Amino acid sequence: MLREVTATRYIEPLRTGGSVPGIVEADDLGTYVVKFTGSAQGCKALVAEVIVGELARALGLRFPELVLVHFDPALGAEEPHQEVRDLLNASPGLNLGMDHLPGAKDFTPEVARSFVVDPLEAGRIIWLDALTANVDRTTHSSNLMVWPTFGIAPPRLWLIDHGAALVFHHRWDTSAPDKAYDFRHHALGHYTPDTRAADAELAPRVTDELLREVVQEVPDAWLADEPAFATPDEARDAYVDYLSARVKASGTWLPTEFPSREELAAENALRAARTQRGRPAWLQRVPDLHGRPAAEQDGAVHLE
Protein backbone atom coordinates (compact mmCIF):
# COMPACT_ATOMS: atom_id res chain seq x y z
CA MET A 1 0.00 0.00 0.00
CA LEU A 2 1.06 3.62 -0.48
CA ARG A 3 2.84 5.09 2.52
CA GLU A 4 0.91 7.60 4.60
CA VAL A 5 2.53 10.79 5.89
CA THR A 6 1.27 13.89 7.66
CA ALA A 7 1.95 17.35 6.28
CA THR A 8 3.85 19.59 8.69
CA ARG A 9 4.41 22.69 6.54
CA TYR A 10 2.78 24.17 3.45
CA ILE A 11 5.53 25.85 1.43
CA GLU A 12 4.02 27.29 -1.76
CA PRO A 13 1.53 26.63 -4.55
CA LEU A 14 2.58 25.58 -8.05
CA ARG A 15 0.72 27.43 -10.80
CA THR A 16 1.95 25.42 -13.77
CA GLY A 17 -1.19 23.26 -13.85
CA GLY A 18 -4.91 23.77 -13.53
CA SER A 19 -5.11 21.78 -10.29
CA VAL A 20 -2.76 24.19 -8.42
CA PRO A 21 -0.78 21.56 -6.47
CA GLY A 22 1.37 22.67 -3.56
CA ILE A 23 4.82 21.87 -2.23
CA VAL A 24 4.53 20.44 1.26
CA GLU A 25 6.92 19.12 3.90
CA ALA A 26 5.86 16.04 5.87
CA ASP A 27 6.65 14.32 9.14
CA ASP A 28 8.96 11.83 7.39
CA LEU A 29 11.20 14.83 6.50
CA GLY A 30 10.25 14.41 2.84
CA THR A 31 9.12 17.14 0.47
CA TYR A 32 6.17 16.40 -1.80
CA VAL A 33 4.15 17.95 -4.59
CA VAL A 34 0.60 17.50 -3.32
CA LYS A 35 -2.53 17.34 -5.44
CA PHE A 36 -5.62 18.18 -3.45
CA THR A 37 -9.02 16.53 -3.36
CA GLY A 38 -10.68 19.95 -3.44
CA SER A 39 -9.32 20.88 -6.88
CA ALA A 40 -11.65 21.40 -9.82
CA GLN A 41 -10.56 18.06 -11.34
CA GLY A 42 -11.85 16.20 -8.27
CA CYS A 43 -10.96 12.74 -7.07
CA LYS A 44 -10.98 11.14 -10.53
CA ALA A 45 -7.72 12.93 -11.30
CA LEU A 46 -6.16 11.47 -8.15
CA VAL A 47 -7.46 8.00 -9.04
CA ALA A 48 -5.78 8.32 -12.44
CA GLU A 49 -2.55 9.53 -10.82
CA VAL A 50 -2.38 6.47 -8.58
CA ILE A 51 -3.33 3.84 -11.16
CA VAL A 52 -1.13 5.11 -13.99
CA GLY A 53 1.77 6.10 -11.76
CA GLU A 54 1.91 2.78 -9.94
CA LEU A 55 1.48 0.89 -13.21
CA ALA A 56 4.41 2.87 -14.67
CA ARG A 57 6.55 1.96 -11.68
CA ALA A 58 5.59 -1.72 -11.93
CA LEU A 59 6.68 -1.71 -15.58
CA GLY A 60 10.07 -0.24 -14.75
CA LEU A 61 9.48 3.35 -15.90
CA ARG A 62 10.88 6.19 -13.81
CA PHE A 63 8.13 7.79 -11.75
CA PRO A 64 8.48 9.55 -8.36
CA GLU A 65 7.12 7.82 -5.27
CA LEU A 66 3.50 8.51 -4.43
CA VAL A 67 2.33 8.90 -0.82
CA LEU A 68 -0.99 9.59 0.85
CA VAL A 69 -0.74 12.93 2.66
CA HIS A 70 -2.87 13.82 5.67
CA PHE A 71 -3.36 17.58 5.34
CA ASP A 72 -4.70 20.16 7.79
CA PRO A 73 -5.88 23.31 5.96
CA ALA A 74 -4.65 25.37 8.90
CA LEU A 75 -1.14 24.88 7.51
CA GLY A 76 -2.05 27.20 4.64
CA ALA A 77 -3.66 29.91 6.73
CA GLU A 78 -0.98 32.45 5.73
CA GLU A 79 -1.34 31.78 1.99
CA PRO A 80 -2.03 35.25 0.48
CA HIS A 81 -4.19 34.15 -2.47
CA GLN A 82 -7.83 33.56 -1.67
CA GLU A 83 -8.36 30.99 -4.43
CA VAL A 84 -5.50 28.87 -3.10
CA ARG A 85 -6.80 29.15 0.48
CA ASP A 86 -10.22 28.05 -0.76
CA LEU A 87 -8.60 25.00 -2.37
CA LEU A 88 -6.73 24.11 0.83
CA ASN A 89 -9.82 24.61 2.97
CA ALA A 90 -11.73 22.24 0.69
CA SER A 91 -9.06 19.53 1.06
CA PRO A 92 -8.85 18.38 4.68
CA GLY A 93 -7.79 14.80 5.30
CA LEU A 94 -6.23 12.48 2.74
CA ASN A 95 -4.59 13.95 -0.38
CA LEU A 96 -1.99 12.67 -2.85
CA GLY A 97 1.69 13.55 -2.71
CA MET A 98 4.44 12.90 -5.25
CA ASP A 99 8.08 12.95 -4.22
CA HIS A 100 9.59 16.31 -5.15
CA LEU A 101 12.56 16.04 -7.53
CA PRO A 102 14.96 18.86 -6.56
CA GLY A 103 16.71 20.39 -9.53
CA ALA A 104 14.49 18.71 -12.11
CA LYS A 105 13.57 20.67 -15.23
CA ASP A 106 10.61 20.47 -17.56
CA PHE A 107 11.14 18.51 -20.77
CA THR A 108 10.36 21.45 -23.04
CA PRO A 109 10.64 21.50 -26.86
CA GLU A 110 13.92 23.39 -26.43
CA VAL A 111 15.32 20.69 -24.14
CA ALA A 112 14.01 17.97 -26.45
CA ARG A 113 16.09 19.25 -29.38
CA SER A 114 19.33 18.22 -27.69
CA PHE A 115 18.18 15.42 -25.39
CA VAL A 116 18.85 11.81 -26.35
CA VAL A 117 16.07 9.28 -25.71
CA ASP A 118 16.44 5.61 -26.52
CA PRO A 119 13.79 4.52 -29.08
CA LEU A 120 12.68 1.65 -26.86
CA GLU A 121 12.31 3.91 -23.82
CA ALA A 122 10.28 6.35 -25.92
CA GLY A 123 8.19 3.41 -27.15
CA ARG A 124 7.54 2.18 -23.61
CA ILE A 125 6.32 5.58 -22.44
CA ILE A 126 4.08 6.05 -25.47
CA TRP A 127 2.75 2.51 -25.03
CA LEU A 128 1.80 3.24 -21.41
CA ASP A 129 0.13 6.50 -22.43
CA ALA A 130 -1.81 4.75 -25.15
CA LEU A 131 -2.88 1.92 -22.84
CA THR A 132 -4.10 4.34 -20.19
CA ALA A 133 -5.52 6.88 -22.65
CA ASN A 134 -3.30 9.65 -21.35
CA VAL A 135 -3.96 12.56 -23.71
CA ASP A 136 -1.70 15.01 -21.86
CA ARG A 137 1.88 14.27 -22.90
CA THR A 138 2.20 16.37 -26.03
CA THR A 139 4.98 18.37 -27.62
CA HIS A 140 3.67 21.48 -25.85
CA SER A 141 2.71 19.83 -22.54
CA SER A 142 5.08 16.93 -21.99
CA ASN A 143 4.53 16.17 -18.29
CA LEU A 144 8.07 14.83 -18.34
CA MET A 145 10.94 16.00 -16.18
CA VAL A 146 14.69 15.81 -16.78
CA TRP A 147 16.41 15.04 -13.50
CA PRO A 148 20.20 15.39 -13.32
CA THR A 149 22.20 12.72 -11.54
CA PHE A 150 25.01 15.12 -10.57
CA GLY A 151 27.73 13.50 -12.68
CA ILE A 152 26.92 9.92 -11.72
CA ALA A 153 25.04 9.23 -14.96
CA PRO A 154 23.39 11.22 -17.75
CA PRO A 155 20.14 13.03 -16.85
CA ARG A 156 17.10 10.78 -17.09
CA LEU A 157 13.48 11.26 -18.05
CA TRP A 158 10.89 11.01 -15.28
CA LEU A 159 7.14 10.76 -15.82
CA ILE A 160 4.80 13.04 -13.85
CA ASP A 161 1.18 14.17 -13.83
CA HIS A 162 -1.29 11.55 -15.05
CA GLY A 163 -4.46 13.24 -13.84
CA ALA A 164 -5.75 13.54 -17.43
CA ALA A 165 -5.29 9.82 -18.13
CA LEU A 166 -8.00 7.13 -17.96
CA VAL A 167 -10.38 9.36 -19.91
CA PHE A 168 -12.75 6.41 -20.13
CA HIS A 169 -13.71 6.73 -16.45
CA HIS A 170 -15.51 9.96 -17.26
CA ARG A 171 -17.98 8.03 -19.46
CA TRP A 172 -18.00 4.39 -18.47
CA ASP A 173 -21.09 3.55 -20.48
CA THR A 174 -19.77 4.70 -23.87
CA SER A 175 -16.00 4.06 -23.90
CA ALA A 176 -14.77 1.05 -25.87
CA PRO A 177 -11.56 -0.66 -24.65
CA ASP A 178 -10.18 -0.86 -28.20
CA LYS A 179 -10.61 2.85 -28.90
CA ALA A 180 -7.63 4.46 -30.65
CA TYR A 181 -6.31 7.93 -29.83
CA ASP A 182 -4.20 10.30 -31.90
CA PHE A 183 -0.70 10.11 -30.41
CA ARG A 184 1.13 11.46 -33.48
CA HIS A 185 2.04 14.60 -31.54
CA HIS A 186 3.31 12.83 -28.46
CA ALA A 187 6.24 14.57 -26.73
CA LEU A 188 8.52 11.64 -27.62
CA GLY A 189 7.34 11.13 -31.18
CA HIS A 190 10.57 12.61 -32.58
CA TYR A 191 12.73 9.82 -31.18
CA THR A 192 11.65 7.05 -33.58
CA PRO A 193 9.80 5.28 -30.75
CA ASP A 194 9.76 1.50 -31.04
CA THR A 195 6.20 0.95 -29.87
CA ARG A 196 5.99 -2.53 -31.39
CA ALA A 197 8.93 -3.74 -29.30
CA ALA A 198 7.42 -2.03 -26.27
CA ASP A 199 4.10 -3.79 -26.88
CA ALA A 200 5.82 -7.17 -27.15
CA GLU A 201 7.69 -6.52 -23.90
CA LEU A 202 5.06 -4.83 -21.74
CA ALA A 203 1.69 -6.25 -22.77
CA PRO A 204 2.37 -9.72 -21.29
CA ARG A 205 3.36 -8.09 -17.99
CA VAL A 206 0.07 -6.21 -17.54
CA THR A 207 -1.81 -9.13 -16.02
CA ASP A 208 -5.09 -9.04 -14.13
CA GLU A 209 -3.12 -9.75 -10.97
CA LEU A 210 -0.90 -6.71 -11.50
CA LEU A 211 -3.90 -4.51 -12.30
CA ARG A 212 -5.65 -5.62 -9.11
CA GLU A 213 -2.56 -4.78 -7.07
CA VAL A 214 -2.39 -1.33 -8.65
CA VAL A 215 -6.06 -0.37 -8.25
CA GLN A 216 -6.01 -1.60 -4.66
CA GLU A 217 -3.72 1.35 -3.90
CA VAL A 218 -6.60 3.81 -4.51
CA PRO A 219 -8.26 4.87 -1.23
CA ASP A 220 -11.91 3.90 -0.82
CA ALA A 221 -12.88 7.53 -0.22
CA TRP A 222 -11.78 8.52 -3.73
CA LEU A 223 -13.99 5.83 -5.27
CA ALA A 224 -16.99 6.13 -2.96
CA ASP A 225 -18.69 8.87 -4.98
CA GLU A 226 -18.40 7.06 -8.32
CA PRO A 227 -22.06 7.04 -9.45
CA ALA A 228 -21.63 4.15 -11.87
CA PHE A 229 -20.84 1.65 -9.10
CA ALA A 230 -22.34 0.64 -5.78
CA THR A 231 -19.08 0.14 -3.87
CA PRO A 232 -15.38 1.06 -4.17
CA ASP A 233 -14.51 -2.59 -4.86
CA GLU A 234 -17.01 -2.67 -7.71
CA ALA A 235 -15.29 0.40 -9.17
CA ARG A 236 -11.89 -1.28 -8.79
CA ASP A 237 -13.18 -4.32 -10.68
CA ALA A 238 -14.30 -2.04 -13.49
CA TYR A 239 -10.85 -0.49 -13.83
CA VAL A 240 -9.25 -3.94 -13.91
CA ASP A 241 -11.73 -5.26 -16.49
CA TYR A 242 -11.37 -2.23 -18.74
CA LEU A 243 -7.57 -2.08 -18.71
CA SER A 244 -7.32 -5.86 -19.07
CA ALA A 245 -9.54 -5.74 -22.15
CA ARG A 246 -7.60 -2.77 -23.50
CA VAL A 247 -4.19 -4.41 -23.21
CA LYS A 248 -5.52 -7.46 -25.07
CA ALA A 249 -6.69 -5.14 -27.87
CA SER A 250 -3.34 -3.35 -28.29
CA GLY A 251 -3.23 -4.27 -31.96
CA THR A 252 -6.10 -1.85 -32.59
CA TRP A 253 -4.74 1.17 -30.71
CA LEU A 254 -0.94 0.79 -30.84
CA PRO A 255 0.51 4.10 -32.15
CA THR A 256 3.15 3.54 -34.81
CA GLU A 257 3.32 6.69 -36.95
CA PHE A 258 4.79 9.99 -35.76
CA PRO A 259 5.56 13.15 -37.75
CA SER A 260 9.11 14.46 -37.92
CA ARG A 261 9.95 17.86 -36.43
CA GLU A 262 9.89 19.34 -39.93
CA GLU A 263 6.48 17.83 -40.70
CA LEU A 264 5.10 19.02 -37.39
CA ALA A 265 6.42 22.55 -37.95
CA ALA A 266 4.86 22.63 -41.42
CA GLU A 267 1.54 21.37 -40.04
CA ASN A 268 1.58 24.00 -37.28
CA ALA A 269 2.41 26.75 -39.75
CA LEU A 270 -0.44 25.71 -42.05
CA ARG A 271 -2.90 25.60 -39.18
CA ALA A 272 -1.71 28.99 -37.94
CA ALA A 273 -2.13 30.51 -41.41
CA ARG A 274 -5.66 29.16 -41.70
CA THR A 275 -6.54 30.52 -38.27
CA GLN A 276 -5.02 33.94 -38.88
CA ARG A 277 -6.94 34.46 -42.11
CA GLY A 278 -10.15 34.66 -40.13
CA ARG A 279 -8.85 36.96 -37.39
CA PRO A 280 -8.86 40.78 -37.33
CA ALA A 281 -5.46 42.43 -37.70
CA TRP A 282 -5.43 43.72 -34.12
CA LEU A 283 -5.91 40.22 -32.72
CA GLN A 284 -3.08 38.81 -34.84
CA ARG A 285 -0.73 41.16 -32.99
CA VAL A 286 -1.82 40.15 -29.48
CA PRO A 287 1.30 38.81 -27.70
CA ASP A 288 1.39 35.31 -26.31
CA LEU A 289 1.78 35.41 -22.52
CA HIS A 290 3.81 32.19 -22.72
CA GLY A 291 6.45 33.79 -24.91
CA ARG A 292 5.44 32.48 -28.34
CA PRO A 293 4.13 34.54 -31.25
CA ALA A 294 0.36 34.53 -31.62
CA ALA A 295 0.57 32.66 -34.89
CA GLU A 296 2.67 29.90 -33.37
CA GLN A 297 0.35 29.67 -30.38
CA ASP A 298 -2.68 29.28 -32.60
CA GLY A 299 -0.90 26.57 -34.54
CA ALA A 300 -0.07 24.51 -31.47
CA VAL A 301 -1.38 20.99 -31.63
CA HIS A 302 -3.16 19.66 -28.55
CA LEU A 303 -4.81 16.33 -27.89
CA GLU A 304 -7.26 17.54 -25.27
Mean pLDDT across the stretch 99-111? 91
Euclidean distance between CA atoms 253 and 250, whole angstroms: 5
CA 220 to centroid of chain Cα atoms: 22
> What's the pLDDT at 274?
74
* Calpha distance 167→103 (Å, rounded): 31
How far apart CA 66 and CA 158 sit, in angstroms, is 13
Q: Which tops the pLDDT comparison, 130 or 271?
A: 130
Check: CB of residue 72 under 8 Å from CB of residue 92.
Answer: yes
Instruction: Describe the chain by its helix, strand, coil percentages, rounded to 5.
Output: 40, 15, 45
Q: Is the pLDDT of residue 152 over 80?
A: no
When pLDDT is averaged across residues 221-230 and rounded to a whole number, the result is 89
| 92 burial level (CB within 10 Å; 0-12, 13-18, 19+) | middle
Collapsing DSSP to helix, strand or coil, 140 comes out as coil
pTM: 0.86
Using the predicted structure, report yes or no on whether residue 235 has a pLDDT greater than 70: yes
- The helix/strand/coil state of 54 is helix
What are the Cα distances from residue 297, in Å, to 54, 69, 232, 302? 34, 37, 42, 11
Give the whole-number percent of the chain exceeding pLDDT 90.
70
Q: What is the mean pLDDT of the chain?
A: 88
| Cβ within 8 Å of residue 83, ≥6 positions away | 20
Q: Mean of the pLDDT values across residues 42-48?
A: 95
Contact 218, 226 (CB under 8 A): no
pLDDT in tens, 11-21: 999 977 678 99
pLDDT of residue 295: 37
Assign 254 to helix, strand or coil. Answer: coil
Residue 284: the pLDDT is 58
pLDDT of residue 149: 65
**Residue 270 banded pLDDT, cuts 50, 70, 90:** confident
Burial 122-144 (b: 16+ CB within 10 A, else e): bbbbbbbbbbbbbbbbbbbbbbb
What's the pLDDT at 153? 67
Minimum mean pLDDT range among 135-149, 196-210, 275-289: 275-289
Q: Is 257 exposed, middle or buried (0-12, 13-18, 19+ CB in 10 A)?
A: exposed
